[in-house]
């Protein structure tokens, strides 16, 4: 039989993992008797963990409200998953320092075997740079994300400046996509849903009024990705494509943009990016003849590229 301290840690882990257990279930998972489970529950209570019990056949147990923070209980796969997630967070602008601090704290409370595994993982891996364009990521304040998450949870309206324009919004969901954060929100005045880049958002004090949440008409994440492609970029473009809409749709990721049919053999692609260079790369990967309708800056940029490519093969 394992030592009592090790068994108590495992019992704490089970109570954390699921809200409700029968005594028989706990005894089976710990490979002990029902009496031993009752004794271990009593020891946890002596240590300050309020374990609630419901009397009856076999008894039922759950970890009560107000428990002290129990020791961090992770198996090997869970520890690796958390470390990978924290390393990914350190690559997101605004989370470099907090992610590194959290990873350091995680290493301090793990047993030596897992700590060595995380150290080897950290030394053997790295994160690639942002390749979406030549512009660096815009940092997002973790406190702002926390405030938005609280507003979503509490159905609390927001008063904010979005791209320096005043806005009042009903927040519904945070979506992370393409190394950026977006807030899915509803504009109650216009009765319009839309994604809002968090790094373009500045909250105002006091905030808005509480609201009764509405059911979103569709898939939240799919809507955000589609709308970002249409409206959420720093630069937007409209391209006439010499191919039917079905062929264009088959060649692009839905997140790249929206396609509008223009007759049997022609269509329009509405897309965007953080720079003219990024959009030009996307167009070249399409593999179809096109005409840039807007913006005029993209027309000039494509002309310069065409001359550069022509010189390269002359």
What one-character DSSP code corresponds to residue 118?
A: H
Position 190 scores a pLDDT of 94
pLDDT digit string, tens, across residues 221-231? 778 877 776 66
Residue (of 114, 112, 132, 121) closest to 88 by Cα position? 121
199 and 179 Cβ atoms separated by less than 8 Å: no
Q: Rounded CA gap, 99 and 96, in Å?
A: 5
235-313 CATH fold: Alpha-Beta Plaits (3.30.70)
CATH architecture of the domain with residue range 142-224: Roll (2.30)
What does the domain layout of the chain look like in residue ranges? 4-63, 76-124, 142-224, 235-313
pLDDT digit string, tens, across residues 91-142? 565 666 777 777 777 776 666 777 777 766 665 555 554 445 455 566 777 7
What SS3 class is residue 113?
Answer: helix
Does CATH number 1.10.10.10 belong to domain 4-63?
yes
Position 131 scores a pLDDT of 45
pLDDT digit string, tens, across residues 256-287? 778 889 988 999 998 888 789 988 988 888 89
Q: Give the count of beta carbons closer than 10 Å to the beta carbon of residue 108.
A: 8
Position 221 scores a pLDDT of 76
147 and 158 Cβ atoms separated by less than 8 Å: no
Quote the longest CA-to-CA distance of the chain.
Answer: 88
Sequence-ordered strand ranges (E) for the chain: 21-22, 51-54, 60-63, 158-162, 165-177, 180-187, 192-197, 201-203, 235-241, 257-261, 267-273, 290-294
Q: Who wins on pLDDT, 72 or 200?
A: 200
State yes or no: pLDDT of 62 exceeds 50.
yes
pLDDT digit string, tens, across residues 77-87? 777 677 767 76
pLDDT digit string, tens, across residues 166-220? 999 999 998 877 667 889 999 999 999 999 989 899 999 898 999 999 998 888 8
State yes or no: pLDDT of 291 exceeds 80.
yes
Position 268 scores a pLDDT of 93
Taking all residues of the chain, what is their mean pLDDT, rounded to a whole number? Answer: 81
Inter-helix orientation angle 112-124/76-90, to 10°: 40
pLDDT band at 11 (very low <50, low <70, confident <90, very high): confident
What SS3 class is residue 61?
Answer: strand
Position 162 scores a pLDDT of 95
């Amino acid at each position: 039989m394992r030592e009592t301290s090790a068994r108590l840690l495992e019992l704490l882990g089970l109570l954390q993992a699921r809200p409700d257990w029968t005594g028989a279930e706990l005894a089976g998972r710990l490979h002990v008797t029902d009496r031993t489970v009752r004794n271990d529950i009593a020891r946890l209570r002596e240590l300050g963990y309020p374990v609630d019990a419901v009397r009856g056949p076999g008894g039922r147990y759950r970890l009560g409200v107000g428990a002290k923070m129990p020791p961090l209980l992770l198996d090997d796969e869970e520890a690796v998953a958390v470390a990978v997630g924290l390393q990914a967070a350190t690559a997101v602008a605004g989370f470099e320092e907090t992610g590194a601090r959290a990873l350091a704290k995680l290493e301090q409370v793990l047993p030596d075997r897992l700590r060595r595994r995380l150290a080897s993982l950290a030394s053997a891996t790295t994160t690639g740079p942002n390749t979406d364009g030549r512009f660096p990521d815009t940092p997002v304040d973790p406190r702002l994300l926390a405030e938005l998450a609280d507003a979503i949870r509490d159905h609390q309206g927001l008063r904010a400046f979005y791209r320096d324009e005043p806005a009042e919004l009903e927040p519904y969901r945070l979506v992370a996509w393409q190394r950026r954060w977006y807030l899915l929100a509803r504009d109650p005045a216009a009765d319009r849903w839309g994604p809002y880049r968090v790094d373009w958002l500045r909250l105002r004090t006091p905030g808005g009024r509480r609201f009764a949440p509405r059911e979103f008409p569709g898939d939240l994440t799919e809507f955000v990705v589609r709308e970002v492609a249409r409206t959420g970029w720093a630069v937007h473009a409209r391209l006439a494509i010499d191919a039917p809409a079905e062929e264009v749709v088959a060649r692009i990721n839905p997140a790249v943009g929206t396609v509008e049919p223009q007759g049997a053999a022609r269509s329009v692609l509405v897309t965007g990016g953080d720079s003219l260079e990024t959009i030009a790369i996307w167009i070249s990967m399409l593999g179809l003849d096109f005409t840039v309708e807007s913006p005029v800056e993209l027309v000039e940029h494509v002309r310069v590229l065409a001359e550069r490519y022509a010189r390269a093969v002359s």
